Amino acid sequence: MGLTTAVPEFVREIVHRADGVPPLTPDGEEGRDWAERELSDPVYDIAEPTPFDRIARAIGDFIASLLSPEVSGGWASAFAVVAAVVVVGVIVAAFLVWGLPRATRRAPRSAPLLFGESEHRSASELRAAAAAHARAGEWEPAVVLRFRALARGCLERGVVDPPPGATVHGFARAAAGAFPQHAARLEEAAAAFDDVRYLRRPGTPELYRLVAEVDDVVASSRPAARERQEVAS
Calculate the average pLDDT of the chain: 75
Residues 184-193: tens digit of each pLDDT: 999 999 999 9
User: What is the structure's pLDDT at 103?
Assistant: 43
Which helix (H) or strand (E) segment holds residue 17: the answer is helix 2-18
d(CA 107, CA 157): 9
pTM of the model: 0.52
Residue 135 has pLDDT above 90, yes or no: yes
User: What is the structure's pLDDT at 104?
Assistant: 43
Helix axes 183-197, 139-157, angle to 10 degrees: 130
CB 161 within 8 A of CB 231: yes
Lowest mean pLDDT among 66-70, 102-106, 151-155, 207-211: 102-106
